[in-house]
Amino acid sequence: MTAPLLITRDQSLLDELLRLAAAAGVTPDVAADGGAALRGWARAPVVLLGADMAEELARISPPRRARVYVLSWGVVPDEMFRVAVAVGAENVTQVGRSEGWLTELLTDLGDTGATGPAEGLVVGVVGGSGGAGATTFACALGQVGARRGRALVVDADPLGPGVDRVLGLEDRHGVRWDGLCQTTGRLSARALREALPRREDLGALTWHAGEPASLQAFAVREVLSAARRGHDLVVVDLPRAADALVDEVAARCDRLLVVVVPTVAGVASAVRTCARHPDRTGVRLVLRGSGVDPRAVTRATGIPVLATMPDQRGLGEAIDLGLGPVRSRRGALGRAAGEVLDQLMLLRAAA
């Protein structure tokens, strides 16, 4: 069910909410009494509760659920916040001051109904050592993922080559981190997706070429939230440098992949990289190249190996030609990326 539930008897409030819903391309369900409200309460993805009926709902004591918002036309009296807590609302807001937020909220619902699951899979990729090829593998995941649904590669490494360059999207118009770090407020899933440089179902978010910049925490949080709502797969290319924000981004990922070169030096570095993540339940290894046995790598790091892949010939040429790292599904990167995505979906289903 993708229709929001509007609960109000206030005709002026209802007319305004219906106008916003029409602009967002969604058709809401409307309840003007407690019984109708309870029938749709648990199933609706979002409940917009008019302040005129908030006390009535509080007396009924509906079951607790997420994404309930109390809406008021005028100044919100202090007593309304107590009522909002009683019905489990996340906040109380004035409609006139929150039109943009409401439109984005309803737009996301309409977009979700057209594209499938509301929550995409977020995968972080980090190199176990320098030169492991984490950015290349992150882009390969994005390319293969875009054949299955909407995919986005997010560049969180200011000193990297730029995922748009690796994917051949550097000449595509679209917003970069430079612009997003100057904005505030809630970011719509559809607005983000349509603003980014992309080729068909594959998008990229990185910096403009030039001087290195830094990430802003509020922008990263909003981007990841909107990206998850608007894509089936979000791949985050993480830097190896220790940083509080990078650690937060890694913690927000459903899975973290550490790309390891299976040499003595590569494994030793990977051990330190893995040790930075105390919760290792969501961490997996991807081995690139040959050398140390995968079982020995797992013993050394304490992390299971999800996939192995040989080095791919012609990789630099493919990237220089703007084709991205995956030229063929039968290539080493294409096969490994497909295998990893299959395994991640199985792990997600079992979680």
Place 86 in a pLDDT band, splitting at 50, 70 and 90: very high
236-257 pLDDT, tens per residue? 999 998 888 999 999 999 999 9
The size of the chain, in residues, is 351
Residues forming CATH 3.40.50.10140 domain(s) in the chain: 5-115
Query: Which residues make up the CATH 3.40.50.300 domain(s) of the chain?
Result: 121-350
What average pLDDT is seen over the chain? 89
Arithmetic mean of pLDDT, 306-311: 93
CATH 3.40.50.300: does it fit domain 121-350? yes
For residue 334, CA distances in Å to 142, 169, 237 come to 10, 19, 18
C-alpha distance across the termini of the chain, in Å: 23
Is the pLDDT at 115 greater than 60? The verdict is no
* Alpha carbon distance 267, 270 (integer Å): 5
Per cent of the chain over pLDDT 70 is 95
Chain segment 43-83, per-residue pLDDT in tens: 999 999 999 999 999 999 999 998 999 999 888 888 999 99
Tokens of 172: 């595509």
- The architecture of the domain spanning 5-115 is 3-Layer(aba) Sandwich (3.40)
Q: What is the pLDDT of residue 52?
A: 95
Q: How confident is the model at residue 114 (pLDDT cuts 50, 70, 90)?
A: very low
The pLDDT value recorded for residue 7 is 97
In the chain, DSSP assigns E strands to 5-7, 29-31, 47-50, 68-72, 91-94, 121-127, 151-155, 198-199, 202-205, 233-237, 255-260, 283-288, 305-309
pLDDT at 347: 82
pLDDT at position 183? 67
- Which residue would you say has higher pLDDT here, 316 or 202? 202
Which is nearest to 76 in space by CA: 102, 49, 56? 49
9-33: average pLDDT:
91
Q: Would you state the pLDDT for residue 48? A: 96
Whether 319 shows a pLDDT value over 80: the answer reads: yes
Average pLDDT estimate for 106-122: 66
pLDDT at 125: 97
- State yes or no: pLDDT of 335 exceeds 70: yes
Q: Which of 30, 75, 42, 36 is nearest to 56 (CA)?
A: 36
Phi/psi at 237 (5° precision):
-85, 110
Q: What is the pLDDT of residue 113?
A: 47
Residue 351 above 80 pLDDT?
A: no
Q: What is the DSSP letter of 214?
A: -
**Strand, helix or coil at 101?**
helix
* Helix, strand, coil abundance in the chain, percent, nearest 5: 45, 15, 40
- The answer, yes or no, to whether residue 26 has pLDDT greater than 90, is no
| pLDDT recorded at residue 100 | 78
pLDDT digits (tens, 9 = 90+) for 176-196: 998 887 766 667 788 888 899
Average pLDDT in the 30-54 region? 94
| Strand arrangement, sheet containing 151-155 | 198-199, 202-205, 151-155, 233-237, 121-127, 255-260, 283-288, 305-309
Which is it for strands 255-260 and 202-205: parallel, antiparallel or unpaired? unpaired
Tell whether the model's pLDDT for residue 116 goes beyond 60: no
CA distances, 324 to each of 129, 134, 146, 173, 209 (Å):
22, 14, 12, 17, 18
Does position 111 have pLDDT exceeding 90, yes or no?
no
What is the model's pLDDT at position 73? 87
**What local confidence, expressed as pLDDT, does residue 211 receive?**
67
For 275-299, what is each residue's pLDDT tens digit? 988 788 899 999 999 999 999 999 9
pLDDT(119) > 80:
no
CA–centroid distance for 146 within its chain? 15
Averaged pLDDT for residues 159-167: 92
pLDDT of residue 109: 78
Percentage of the chain modeled with pLDDT above 90: 63
- Give this prediction's pTM: 0.75
